[in-house]
Amino acid sequence: MAGTAVLGRLTWLVAEVVETRSETPHVRTLVLDVAGWQDHRAGQHVDVRLTAEDGYQAERSYSLASPPGEPPAITVERLDDGEVSPYLVDVAEAGDRFELRGPIGGYFVWEPDGSTDPLFLVAGGSGVVPLMAMIRRRAAAGSDVPATLLCSSRRFEDVIYREELDQLAARGDGLEVVQTLTRAQPPGWAGYSRRVDVELLREVAPAPDQSPRVFVCGPTSFVEAVAEGLVSLGHRPGRIRTERFGGG
Amino acid sequence: MGIVSRGFSGRGRSGDSERLPPGQYRTRDFPVLSAGPTPHTPLDEWSFTIEGGDQPVRWTWDEFRALPSETVTKDIHCVTKWSKFDTEWEGVAIDILLESVDHDHAYAIAFCDGGYTTNLPLEDVTDGKAWIAFAYGGEPLDPEHGGPARLLVPHLYFWKSAKWVRGLSLRDEDEPGFWETNGYHNYGDPWREQRYWGD
C-alpha cells in the first residue's frame, strides 16, 4: 500500500517507442520498450526527458495508461503552447528514443485489494489516463468491484479510449461508463451534455453511505469543482484522491 | 547529456537558466497540486499551534494577524516541473512564531487541514527562510492555493510549502510527512533535483 514500498534511486532509463496509437485528433498513446523497467501500479506516472542535438533538455511528467504487467504506455495530449507534448504527439515514431524515469507516486494509485467498496473515477479530458490504467487493471485482474467512470470531454471525437471503454462496459462485470460532452453533442447523443455539476454527481456517483473510493483527475478547475461537489453531497474528503494538471 | 531524441529541438532557450533549477521550466500560471479536496476552514475556527515546547502555543486568526508580517518576493519550484518567478507573498516569519516557544528540537512537521503533513529540518524554516503566508500578490490567499494560510519555504520544492497549514509539531527526530512517505524526497532541494526517493 501507499508508502510501504521502498524504492531505489529512480535512474534515467532509455525508452524506445514501439507503437503509436492515435486516440483523438489531439491525443496519442506511445507504447514504450524500457530496458530495466520495474513494474508499476495503476495511477502512477513517469518523468520524460527529451534532449535536443545541442544538449538542451526538457522534462515533463505523464501518467501511465497501461496496467501493471504490461509494457509502459503513456497517453499524451498536445498542448498548443507545449514544448514536450507536441513532440510526443506529432513527431516521435516507432524506433525513436528518449529518456524516462519512474514509476513515480504512491498515493494516486489503485490495486484490487479485496475491498468491495465501489470505485468512482472522474476524468476531465486527458485526466482519464491514470484512471484508464485502473480500469484496465481491474479488468485484467478479473475484479468485479463496482466501478463507475465519469468522463467529461468537449466533443464526441475528443473522448479518449471511447471504443475500449464501450467494450469494457459491455462485459457486464460491474463497470459503468458515463460520458458527458460539454461543448457539442452528435445527433441522438444519449449521454450528458453539460459540465459536471453537483446534480450530475448526485445522479452518477455511488451514494456516500456506500463509502466509495474516489479518484479525480483533470484540470485544476475541473478537479476543484468535482471534489467540492462530492464533499457537499456528503462524501468524506479523506476518500477523495485528486490529481491535477495546471494551466495549460 | 542524455540520448538525443530525433526531431526534438525544444523551445527557444530562455535567459532564465540561472534561475531555473535542473529539470524545471518556467510558467506564468499558478498551477495547483493537491492530494484531495480543498478544505474551507472559517477564520473564526482557524488557529495556528506550535507543539513540542513546554506547552503548546496557539494563536487565533486575529492574534496571528496581529503579529509583525513582511512581504517577500521569491521564485518557487514545484516538483511537477514548473517554476514561477517573483511571486509576492505576505506572511509571518517562523522566527517570530518560535520566539514564543521554549524548545531544543531540530525538526518540525507541519500539519494541515485535510490531514496533509510535511517534514522539515528546523534550520530550514528559521533565520528568515520560511513564513506562514496569508496573502499572495496583495490579496488574501485563495483556498485553492492554501488559504487562509500556508507555509512558505521557497528554497525547497513547493510541496514543502504546505497548504492550509494549522501548525508545527517540533521533534527531536525527523519523520517523513505525506509526500515524503509516498515516493518523494525527504528533503527536496530543487537545485540538487531531489524529487524522489534516492535522488
| Residue B3 belongs to a domain | no
Q: Are residues A143 and A238 in the same domain?
A: yes
Angle between helix A128-140 and helix A162-169 axes, rounded to 10 deg: 40
| Residue B27 belongs to a domain | no
**Inter-chain CB proximity A224 and B144 less than 8 Å:** yes
ipTM of the complex: 0.90
Beta-carbon contacts of residue A187 (< 8 Å; ≥ 6 apart): none
pTM (two decimals):
0.94
Rounded to an integer, what distance in angstroms lies between the CA atom of residue B31 and that of residue A33? Answer: 31
| Residue A166 belongs to a domain | yes
pLDDT tens, position by position, A148-204: 999 999 999 999 999 999 999 999 999 999 999 999 999 999 999 999 999 999 999
| Containing structural domain, residue B163 | 45-192
pLDDT tens, position by position, A56-65: 999 999 999 9
- Give me the residues of chain A with pLDDT under 50, please: 1-6, 247-248
| Residue A79 belongs to a domain | yes
pLDDT in tens, chain B (199 residues): 679 999 998 886 667 778 999 999 998 877 777 899 999 999 999 999 999 999 999 999 999 999 999 999 999 999 999 999 999 999 999 999 999 999 999 999 999 999 999 999 999 999 999 999 999 999 999 999 999 999 999 999 999 999 999 999 999 999 999 999 999 999 999 999 999 998 9
Q: B186 — contact with chain A (CB < 8 Å)?
A: no
Q: What is the CATH number of the domain that holds B146?
A: 3.90.420.10
| Residue A53 belongs to a domain | yes
Residue by residue, DSSP assigns A139-183 as HHTT----EEEEEEESSGGG-TTHHHHHHHHTT-SSEEEEEEESS
Could you tell me which chain A residue has the CA closest to the CA of B20? A58
**Inter-chain CB proximity B198 and A51 less than 8 Å:** no
| Residue B110 belongs to a domain | yes
Q: Are residues A34 and A83 in the same domain?
A: yes
Rounded to an integer, what distance in angstroms lies between the CA atom of residue A79 and that of residue B71? Answer: 35
Last residue of a domain, one of A56, A80, A104: A104
B27 CA to chain A: closest CA distance, Å? 9
**Inter-chain CB proximity A60 and B81 less than 8 Å:** yes
Last residue of a domain, one of A70, A104, A138: A104
Q: Are residues A225 and A132 in the same domain?
A: yes
Name the B residues in 25-64 with CB < 8 Å from any A CB: 25, 27, 29-39
Q: Give the residues across from B71 on adjacent strands.
A: B90
**Inter-chain CB proximity A228 and B30 less than 8 Å:** no
Max Cα–Cα distance, chain A, nearest Å:
58
Q: B80 — contact with chain A (CB < 8 Å)?
A: yes
| Containing structural domain, residue A214 | 119-245
Rounded to an integer, what distance in angstroms lies between the CA atom of residue B51 and that of residue B2? Answer: 47
Q: What is the CATH number of the domain that holds A130?
A: 3.40.50.80
Q: What is the CATH number of the domain that holds A50?
A: 2.40.30.10
| Residue B149 belongs to a domain | yes
Q: What's the pLDDT score for residue B2?
A: 76
Q: What's the pLDDT score for residue A3?
A: 43
Rounded to an integer, what distance in angstroms lies between the CA atom of residue A34 and that of residue A102? Answer: 11
Neighbours of A126 (CB within 10 A): 27
State the cell numbers at B35: 492530494
Q: Are residues A126 and A97 in the same domain?
A: no
B121 CA to chain A: closest CA distance, Å? 21
Alpha carbon distances (Å) from B118 to A57, B34, B39, B110, B153: 30, 13, 17, 5, 11
Residue A188, CA atoms < 13 Å, CB-side half-sphere: 0
Q: B1 — contact with chain A (CB < 8 Å)?
A: yes
Last residue of a domain, one of A40, A75, A104: A104
Number of domains in chain A: 2
Number of domains in chain B: 1
Extended beta strands in chain A, E state:
13-24, 27-34, 45-51, 57-63, 73-77, 97-104, 119-124, 147-153, 175-181, 213-219, 240-245
